Amino acid sequence: MDSVSHHVRETDPTLLRLKLFGQMEAKTLTGESVLPVGSKTRALLAILALSDRKPVLRSRLAELLWSKRPEDLARASLRQEIHRLLDALSPIGVEVIDVQRHSLALKSALTSVDAEKLLTVSVRTIDAVAFPEEPLLGELAGVDPALDDWLVQQRRRLSAHLQNVCESAVQELTDSDRVEATAERLLKFDGLNEIAWRARIQLALHRGDYGRAVSLSDQMARVVEDVEGHVLSPATQKLLASIPDEHTAGEPVQDAVQPALSGSNSEVTSLVSVRRPDPMLALPLHYAAQHSSSMEPQKIALVFLAPSCTDETLLGYRQSLRDQLELMFVNMGTFDILSIADISSPDSVNAPSIYQSLGADYVISGSLRAGQEDGADNRLILRVLDARRGGVIIWGTHFDFPSSGPDEATNSIVAPMQAMQWSIFVAEARRIAARSDAELSALGMALRAFMLLLRHDCTLFDRIGFLLERAVDLGKDDGAIALIDALYCYIRFLNEWGIQAESVFARGLKSVRVAVSLMPDLHAVEVLLAAYLMYEPGSHEAAVSVARSAAEDISSNDSHHKNSPDLRMVEIVLNLLCGEMKSAAGNVKKLLENGYRSQLLELLRPVFMMILLLGEDYQKVISMGRLASGLYPSCPSSLVYYLVSLIEVNDFPEEAQQVRRHLLRLAPDLTVSKVVSRFPFVETAQRTRLTEALFKAGIAGE
């Protein structure tokens, strides 16, 4: 994104504009001053302005403004100040303060506050905000001791927020000029900030300006010398040691990386957090070395904790369940799994931030609960906590197993694990939704493409394809990216009846083969390869061989494979290859009944409609079609299956005509022969039946 866009001037339509830095101001839309005269009245307005637009209790206002008075007298004084404030603001002509019996609040739609813009600034908007050079509400000092303490807290809050945003910007931005400018701003109000100093030195090294790197390190050393007792962090010390002298200036320079963190659990809370690069964002220029291509791409990092348990009969399952879940994600090959011992800390509130400091993005935790009645199943509760957001739960489910142990469970634990994987992917894609494409890493672009693919909108195919082309080019060794590209090509192939269909299929077949080679333990990729081979002339036997091999691997690796979604899907492919369409439809129904619904299954819904159509379950296809046409009106393939089912049932002629018209608006060149060409794996009689239904629906033959 061009940095100029960050400086676009915005208009302010609010009726009351408050300035809290330096000399306090309160002006109307026309520029008329409505600032109250008395210091208490101004302080009342300031408190409301810095309350984050939340109601402030009258009791709290009285405490801040009259801390030395009895409560009844303070309340009476507050009532008088409220009247004075409302009188001062009366020229506005509209009530900008919401006065309730127990609280007051500044109406957000009618007012603007300069400090609020700083308190809500983010990495993306930091360039558009000027840092204040005057103190916050300096004129209100001495109004009341409680107010003085409150002002100190507000100034610290503002300073901490700006520092955090600047530090994030310095570590996340990819434009070197913006990184340099932000680092300099950061040093203006925190001259000892090592993140800013490191960024400036790393930028100089990245540009090959070793003289400037040495000069900056000398400047930092002089600043540090003036502060007694200050010790540079290991990351800064390592960076300074990496600066080449005149004899090694021509050799490659390696960037300072996150230092190894060690120590007992009791020492963990004292560790200094060193931010690892965001796996969703392009590697910042100041972080990359001159030969950054040699650096391994970052993946989403997970930590698995042993489930908590208070029942002694279940304690023996804690570690085995943790190990089982951890190994499943290791075999998926799409995450970095950190082997970190559980942190035994009395302050469990800070546990997520501690794990984040150790490099984790998400923490997988859970709890074991015994069955409440004799013979009732025990339950494993699973949760995914976002370490970067203070432990917010982004996903959760449960897995039941009998008292004889999880190895005797009737359901496969693979199902919740797959749902967890795709939920994490979706959470990451949503987290970066406001970022521009240029800011994203290869994985970030792939997950953005996956989110767009979930919309089932054929008008987005070109944009999705472009994102994935860039992602595949940047992440050639990332199996997850190859898998998402293969899924995109498969879905597009089923919705593409033009001249691009052949090239889309070829690209997808190439990507799925790459994904199989990069993730050999992920059975879902093998299933997708078998599905591709169904459509390739002369590859029928190869498709059967791949599917049967996947089925054998699943059965040998998962003791509860009967309800494994991977096995269900491979059985569906085998059913289709063997002409057992009703059995395929039956397996689709069982797969859709799976309680652990993942975004992958949602993506494949149109495919499931096609299989149910081949199994002649027309009512189910019609039901799914009605829902799909409302949720995803721009998905041609689901409309085709929906239309054919309506024709076969022959009970809804008007509905069939509406679906046909909508389908032809999306795909005006659609013909019967093009649709039937997507069914090379079905018998001639069934293709003939499809042809007759499409002709009856009013679709052109050629």
- Coil/strand/helix, residue 18: strand
Whose tokens are 């009846």? That residue is 497
- Coil/strand/helix, residue 7: helix
Give φ, ψ of 378 to 5 degrees.
Answer: -80, 165
- CATH T-level topology, domain 301-411: Rossmann fold (3.40.50)
Please report the pLDDT score of residue 284 as a whole number.
Answer: 62
b or e along 139-155 (b: 16 or more beta carbons within 10 Å of the residue's beta carbon)? Answer: ebeebbebbeebbeebe
Chunked in runs of 10, what are the mean pLDDT values of the chain (702 residues)? 38 80 91 92 94 92 93 93 93 90 89 88 80 86 92 89 84 78 83 86 82 87 81 83 60 38 38 62 59 60 88 82 85 82 53 78 89 78 88 89 74 84 93 87 94 94 95 91 96 91 95 93 90 90 92 74 80 94 94 83 94 95 93 93 94 92 92 92 92 92 76
Query: From edge to edge, which strands make up the β-sheet containing 97-99?
Result: 56-57, 103-106, 97-99
The DSSP code sequence of 351-407 is HHHHHHHTT-SEEEEEEEE--SSTTPPEEEEEEEEEGGGTSEEEEEEEEEE-TT-GG
Determine how many CB atoms are found less than 10 A away from the CB of residue 226: 9
* The domain made up of 594-702 is a member of CATH 1.25.40: yes
> Which amino acid appears at position 172 of this protein?
E
CATH class of residue range 3-161: mainly alpha
The ranges assigned to domains in the chain are: 3-161, 301-411, 594-702
Whose tokens are 């994987």? That residue is 421
CA distance 201 to 206: 9
**Which residues contact residue 183 at a Cβ distance below 8 angstroms, ignoring those fewer than 6 apart?**
166, 170, 196, 197, 199, 200, 203
Please report the pLDDT score of residue 75 as a whole number.
Answer: 93
CA distance 184 to 438: 24
Terminal alpha carbon distance of the chain: 46
CA distance 269 to 277: 21
